[in-house]
Amino acid sequence: MAEDKNSNAGGNRAQPSSDEAALSARLGSLDQRLSEIRDSRKPRTDQPGTESGDTAARASAMALGFRLSSELVAGVVVGAALGWGFDRLLSTSPFGFIVFLLLGFVAGVVNVVRSAGVASRRR
């Protein structure tokens, strides 16, 4: 009876080694296929125009720059237009134009600072 247990134990040891060899072969094949798929999905760095992260970041920064500059220019233009209008209505040339031009500039700077997130909100 002791011999039967030893022979079964030896048989079980031989079977897992063939299973392990088959499993190792399958894992190697799977690894090779996964490597091929990963290589095909990688963006090519040697081709121009594939830097989507850098391009998006530059576009976003440029959009922010245009927005901030347009807010500053709009404030100055609106202030100048209001000042010119008051000067025409009240015949106070050039004092209304100068005062409202400066107020428009200050309003534009405040809008830029607020849009850029530099000013912190205190409550």
Indicate the domain borders of the chain.
1-44, 57-123
What's this model's pTM, rounded to 2 decimal places? 0.52
Confidence at 48, pLDDT banded by 50, 70, 90: low
Higher pLDDT, 69 or 5: 69
Average pLDDT over residues 39-44: 75
Q: What is the mean pLDDT of residues 23-39?
A: 90
- 66, 115 contact by CB (below 8 A): no
Q: Judge contact between 67 and 73, C-beta under 8 A.
A: no
Give me the long-range contacts of 61-66 (CB less than 8 A, separation at least 24): 64/116
